[in-house]
Chains A and B, each alone.
Chain A
Amino acid sequence: MDWNVIIVNLPFLMKGLWMSIKLAVLVICFAFPIACVMAVGRISNRLWIRYPSAIFVNIMRSNPLILIVFWFFFLVPILTGRPVGDFASVMIGFVVFFAAYFTEIIRSGIQSVGHNQIQAGLSTGLSYFQTMRMIVLPQALRNMIPALITECVIVFQGTTIAYVVGLREFLNSTFLVTERTLRPAELYIFAAIVYFIVCFAGSLLARQLEKRKVIT
């Protein structure tokens, strides 16, 4: 074992890690608002809103992320008619894919709030939107925060898949360094440790919040 290889290549590796973090944060920032809209669509009474959202969510959830990335990597340049760059293609694929998962979390969060809460809200004279905004959503958000954090960890783990299209995130940077230095053992173990620390911290946070939420 020669751990020096990591110190020498640390700047390059950290650039990759920064790329992973950037990708994950951007994906979450774009996917979450889309998912909020879709979640409301999923529980809408209007069938022409509910069915398309359900179909979209189920298509995304029954395909592997890697295949969705391939799809978008191939389709985006064709649809836009011009190259938009690897990062944009990968990001669009990730956003669409994870929006479906966030949708399901938000939907079950909204549905976890008892129906009598809505009735109570309405019977005190609040409108439907007021009930949603002031009664249902605050409770729903509280219920779903642990699941949302867990999903964010999954998004971060998912960024490794950008490796397959050659985007230079952390795993791909590690791979490139192993190609050059022929020291896979040290480098991959280092990568695993870094991923573990980030993801384990996220899991612990989610579990902590899970314990604290008591509203039912």
Chain B
Amino acid sequence: MALNYDFEWGLLLENPHKEWIIEGLAHTVGLSLTAWVIALIIGILIGTIRMTQSPLLRFIGTAYVEFFRNIPLLVQLFIWFFVFPLMLPNDLMFAWNRLPHVPLITALLALSLFTAARVAEHIRAGISSIPKGQFDAARSSGLTQVQMYRHVIIPYAFRVMIPTITSEFLTVFKNSALTLTIGVAEITGAAKAIEAWSFHGIEAYTVASVTYMTTTATVVLFMGWLEHRLRIPGLIARK
């Protein structure tokens, strides 16, 4: 097996490669952070309505989660990108197409809604893991259902759910790579472009891989620290 390849790491620092990498990093980080925050908000909402008494609200919540989880993200991206504008009334469609950075907005929309479904599942699992006694105790001390959630259940569930919700950021971070298919210049797309431009795939993909791996390592370390800070004494045993 002869490795027939000339390494040339210097070309990563040459323009236009350098500019592409910087732009790619900015897009990956910006897109995934924003999508994650939006997904948390929507996900908490959907997760909570799945725990209510109303069958209609529960159905809406479940339908949302199943819908977004069982269609591949790439298909969802294509639908938002190619189909969604066609479904708008004419004048709205023109306004949409005139927006700056349509791919970026579409990517944000698709990533947030997709991730929200996953967050909603984590929220539900987190709330279900709370012992029934907590609910009984809250109600019997005279709290209304809203107050119960606001003061007892959510603060408790939040701390139980920190690990899954943080790791959801890593999922968005990696999923954001898919948006290169609709023309968002994120880091994987930048690496692909450098490869196509210079045939130096190993160097180009290394940049992207290192980005994902250092981010993962950083977030995992931070998560461990946060989990330790916010642990509920006697509940979460850290190994």
List A residues at the B interface (Cβ < 8 Å).
58-59, 61-67, 70-71, 74-75, 78-81, 153, 157-158, 160-161, 163-164, 171, 175, 178, 184-185, 188-189, 191-192, 195-196, 199-200, 203
Contact = CB atoms under 8 A, between A and B. Distances in A.
Interface stretch (B10-18, B42-50, B127-135, B177-185): B177-185
A185 B170 contact: no
B87 A71 contact: no
A78 B2 CA distance: 8
B83 A66 contact: no
Contacts of A189: 79, 83
B40 interface: no
Contacts of A196: 67, 70-71
Contacts of B215: 62
B217 A62 contact: yes
A75 B195 CA distance: 12
Candidate in B74, B174, B217 with the most chain A CB atoms within 10 angstroms = B74
Nearest to A184: B82
B129 to A, nearest CB: 15
B57 to A, nearest CB: 21
B123 to A, nearest CB: 18
Interface of A is mostly: helix
A196 B75 CA distance: 10
B146 interface: no
Contacts of A161: 74, 178
Interface string B187-214: 0100110010000011001001100110
A78 B177 contact: no
Given A175-B78, A196-B70, A67 B201 contact: no
B205 A188 contact: no
Contact of B71 (A74, A80, A185, A199): A199
B178 A66 contact: yes
Contact of B202 (A74, A81, A192): A74
B86 interface: yes
B1 interface: yes
Given A64-B174, A66-B177, A66-B178, 20 more contacts: A64-B175, A67-B208, A70-B188, A70-B191, A71-B201, A75-B202, A78-B3, A79-B3, A157-B72, A157-B73, A164-B181, A171-B74, A171-B78, A178-B82, A184-B78, A184-B86, A185-B82, A189-B79, A192-B71, A203-B66
B75 A67 contact: no
Contact of A81 (B1, B76, B178, B209): B1
A188 B82 contact: yes
A67 B178 CA distance: 9
Contacts of A203: 66, 69-70
B192 A70 contact: yes
Contact of A70 (B76, B78, B195): B195
B21 to A, nearest CB: 14
A67 B70 contact: no
A78 B212 contact: no
Interface in B131-165: none
Interface in B199-239: 201-202, 205, 208-209, 212-213, 215-217
A178 B67 CA distance: 23
Contacts of A71: 201, 205, 209
A200 B70 contact: yes
A142 B174 CA distance: 31
